[in-house]
Amino acid sequence: MTRLALILALLLCAAGSLRAEDLAVERVLTWYHRMRPSDKDLAIYRLDWASSLNEAQRRAAREGRPICLVIIHSKYGDIASGHC
């Protein structure tokens, strides 16, 4: 009888700890979804770069968008590769 009570107590402890882990995971996921920036907030990181001013002007006229010109003054700068 004591052996059965001990086994039941151990099973209850194990089941309780599994539920606690599930709650911790749910809590982390809830905070992740609350704090994660929205797609609108991350839009600045999805810029479409053009490799030349002529191409940028054609695309801007076609899409009705402005042009942001980046001039690189570095010896090794290359706008096409993203190294400034």
Structure tokens at 48: 């479409």
Helix (H) or strand (E) holding 72: none
**Cβ neighbours of 77 (radius 10 Å):** 13
The answer to whether the beta carbons of residues 77 and 83 sit under 8 Å apart is: yes
Q: What is the pTM of this model?
A: 0.35
Amino acid at 23: L
Report residue 65 as tokens: 């968008």
Residue ranges covered by each domain of the chain: 1-36, 39-84
Q: Is 31 helix (H, G, I), strand (E, B) or coil?
A: helix
Q: How does pLDDT run across 1-14, given as a tens digit for each residue?
A: 677 777 767 666 66
Share of the chain above pLDDT 90, in %: 11
